């Protein structure tokens, strides 16, 4: 059987696609390795940090909050190992989180952050979703968008305050602790917008964002007097907001599914021969 030019081109394209996909998974694994082996030491503080007040001292809240940020971006990379085409929103949020932290860190002269940001960029360049990484959903949820815009006011105010504190030159500023706090606030806001505009896979991102906000809110309640803590009241409000955010997402998902099945049923009924339209 003669091999036509079109068959050859198709075979070449398929081979390149497979090579790119293998390269994608390799980069994801390498990125996870970098995260775990260089920043993974922070992850135990997600739990142990609450019991190490004496050891961590005035930096206790910062260490706990930074551990939650590391957990968020690490999970964002980890979930790309399974059906990455359906995890677009989570990657978008991870990229934005790292881009924000990188910009802030470079501003303060910390170039080490590039060790984490560059692999995340490579994941995007090789991602099976391709150009869909640059898009959001075709519709939006008014309820989720409303909740996100409401949260934007305190989140931007908090981010601005932490950014200003970095210029004070105090002990926290010397360790660069305020910039991750700015990144956390802006990441939650960015993730909220991605969920509101229903980017592909927004449901998973909603849960990750909700857990992120609940954790930081809980830490603020437990450690209300430490630097960068939002305090008891705002910590509690963060938890309430997170619950409402996830609940609104679940309602949106159910409404979309219900609408989809309704359209499918209507289409099938209209296609029945002899059935009046």
Answer yes or no: is 4 within a domain. no
Answer yes or no: is 2 within a domain. no
Instruction: Give the structural domain span for 257.
Output: 11-270
| Residue 259: per-residue pLDDT | 62
Arithmetic mean of pLDDT, 46-72: 97
| Residue 274: per-residue pLDDT | 54
Answer yes or no: is 226 within a domain. yes
Report the C-alpha gap between 242 and 139 in whole angstroms: 22
Largest CA-CA distance found in the chain, in angstroms, rounded: 80
Mean pLDDT estimate for the chain? 91
Arithmetic mean of pLDDT, 48-57: 96
The answer to whether the beta carbons of residues 84 and 73 sit under 8 Å apart is no
Per the structure, the count of domains in the chain is 1
The half-sphere exposure of 204 on its side-chain side, counting CA atoms within 13 A, is 23
| Residue 37: per-residue pLDDT | 96
Answer yes or no: is 6 within a domain. no
Answer yes or no: is 56 within a domain. yes
Answer yes or no: is 257 within a domain. yes
Report the C-alpha gap between 252 and 143 in whole angstroms: 9
Q: What percent of the chain has pLDDT over 90?
A: 83
The model's pTM is 0.90
The answer to whether the beta carbons of residues 58 and 171 sit under 8 Å apart is yes
What sign has the CA pseudo-torsion 230, 236, 237, 242? positive
Answer yes or no: is 117 within a domain. yes
Q: What angle do CA 227, 90, 249 make, to 5 degrees?
A: 85
pLDDT surpasses 90 at 1? no
- Rounded to the nearest 5°, which phi and psi values hold at 201? 85, 25
Answer yes or no: is 238 within a domain. yes
pLDDT surpasses 80 at 264? no
DSSP annotation of 169 reads: -
């Amino acid at each position: 059987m003669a091999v036509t030019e079109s068959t050859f081109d198709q075979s070449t394209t398929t081979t390149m696609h497979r090579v790119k996909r293998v390269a994608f998974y390799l980069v994801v694994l390498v990125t996870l390795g970098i995260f775990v082996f260089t920043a993974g030491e922070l992850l135990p503080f997600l739990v142990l940090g609450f019991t190490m007040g004496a050891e961590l001292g005035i930096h206790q809240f910062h260490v706990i909050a930074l551990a939650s940020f590391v957990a968020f971006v690490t999970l964002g990379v980890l979930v790309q190992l399974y059906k990455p085409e359906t995890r677009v929103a989570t990657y978008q949020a991870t990229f934005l989180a790292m881009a924000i932290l990188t910009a802030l860190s470079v501003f303060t002269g910390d170039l080490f952050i590039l060790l984490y940001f560059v692999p995340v960029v490579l994941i995007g360049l090789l991602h099976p979703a391709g150009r869909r990484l640059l898009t959001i959903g075709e519709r939006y949820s008014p309820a989720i968008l409303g909740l996100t815009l409401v949260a934007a006011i305190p989140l931007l105010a908090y981010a601005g305050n932490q950014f200003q504190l970095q210029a004070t030159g105090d002990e926290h500023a010397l360790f660069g602790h305020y910039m991750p706090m700015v990144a956390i606030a802006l990441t939650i806001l960015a993730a909220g917008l991605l969920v509101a505009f229903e980017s592909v896979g927004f449901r998973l991102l909603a849960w990750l964002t909700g857990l992120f906000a609940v954790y930081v809110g809980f830490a603020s309640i437990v450690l209300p007097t430490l630097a960068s803590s939002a305090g008891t009241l705002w910590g509690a409000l963060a938890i309430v907001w997170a619950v409402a955010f996830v609940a609104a997402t679940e309602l949106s998902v159910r409404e979309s599914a219900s609408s989809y099945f309704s359209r499918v049923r209507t289409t099938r009924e209209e296609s029945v021969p002899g059935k009046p339209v």
